[in-house]
Each structure stands twice: as structure tokens, then as C-alpha cells.
Structure 1
Amino acid sequence: MLEKLQRAFWKALTPDLVAETAIVEPPADAMLAPAVLSALGGASNLKSQQRVALTRIRVQLQDPTRVDEVALKAAGIAAVMVLAGGTVHLLTGL
């Protein structure tokens, strides 16, 4: 805790001398189970994914016709909403 405060203090005083910490992007399948990823058409079909809430994930797909809604429900997804433009909302819990 003290180290974070010290870094923030020195960053405020000398912004060009304290290096920013790199933000590491999580892997494409980090928040999706393998069965869910497979039902969405595989990792190659994913453009992006974003956790919208604790129980919702927004996924942008290359080809939305490859989505298998039956397999998603079998994998534990409570509900699936396919929108225009390849966007799919997954309700992961209640």
C-alpha cells in the first residue's frame, strides 16, 4: 500500500521519469469456458469480448451464423441474445 502511494506521489512530481506499468490484455478465451468458446464457433470466430456486468458478457463475432445456441445452453449459459452486426450477449447467471 505504501509503495503504491509513493509511486503515485513521485509520478505526480515527475511524470516523465516514472514509467507507466504495462496493462496486459487477457487472452481471448480467458472469461469463456472451452464449451462456450466452442459453441460460439471457436476462438478464431471471436473479435472481442467484454464483461458488461457480473452475469453478462458481450461478444463480438466474425461470423454470427456459427453460434450454436443449444450448445451454449448445455454449457450453462442461461440466455443468449444475438444482435445485428455479430454482437452476442450471454447471460451467464441469474
Structure 2
Amino acid sequence: MFEKLQRAFWKALTPDLVAETVIPEPAPDARLAPAVLNALGGAVNLKEQQRVALTRIRVQLYDPALVDETALKAAGITAVMVLAGGVVHLIPGQ
């Protein structure tokens, strides 16, 4: 969102210098590593994902019982926090 605001600001100041570019939104499963996605139960189990901080990824799953915490840790996820409503917070390792 900040990028869109920044682009609009500069376009307003210099309309002839900022080209109109459309940045395609990546597919929902494109932002997670394949090993992480598999440990969450696969792409069919992923309802929504969102980066909420530099160090945290929030995902919403259809069935949180499919989460394999051991596989997530092997994939580089330092901590997993399973919340109500199928919400899972992932903290990737360094």
C-alpha cells in the first residue's frame, strides 16, 4: 500500500516522468516456499496469506489440523502459533 501511495505522490508531482505500470498480484501460493506450503496442508488448504511484519507471516487455513509443525521447522520456520479460526502465524528463521 505504501508503494502505491508513493507512486501516486510522485506521479502527481511529475506526471510525465512516472510511467503507468501494472504490477500483477502473485498467486496466493507463490509467496510461500514449497516446503512450507506442503507443511501447511498444501495449496488447497490455504485460504489467505499476509505478511504482517518483516518477521511474521499470517496464514488462514481451511483445516488447521493439517499443519505439520515438525515439517515447518525443517523448512526454516522458527516458531508456529496456531490461533482460533484457522489462523496460523509463522515466524521464519534468519
| TM-score normalised according to structure 1 size | 0.76
Q: In structure 2, what is the equivalent of residue 40 of structure 1?
A: 40
Q: Which runs of 4+ in 1 moved over 6 A?
A: none
Q: Deviations over 1:25-80 (max 9, x none)?
A: 22112221000000000000000000011111000000000000000000000000
The count of corresponding residues between Structure 1 and Structure 2 is 82
Q: Structure 1 residue 64 and structure 2 residue 64: aligned? A: yes
Amino acid at match of 2:89: H
Amino acid at match of 2:83: L
- Tell me the SS of whatever aligns to 1:41: coil
- Tell me the SS of whatever aligns to 2:27: coil
Return 5+ residue gaps in structure 2 as ranges.
Answer: 1-6
Q: Structure 1 residue 6 and structure 2 residue 15: aligned? A: yes
Q: Structure 1 residue 87 and structure 2 residue 87: aligned? A: yes
- Tell me the SS of whatever aligns to 1:50: strand
Computed over aligned residues only, the root mean square deviation of the Cα atoms, in angstroms, reads: 2.4
Identity %: 73
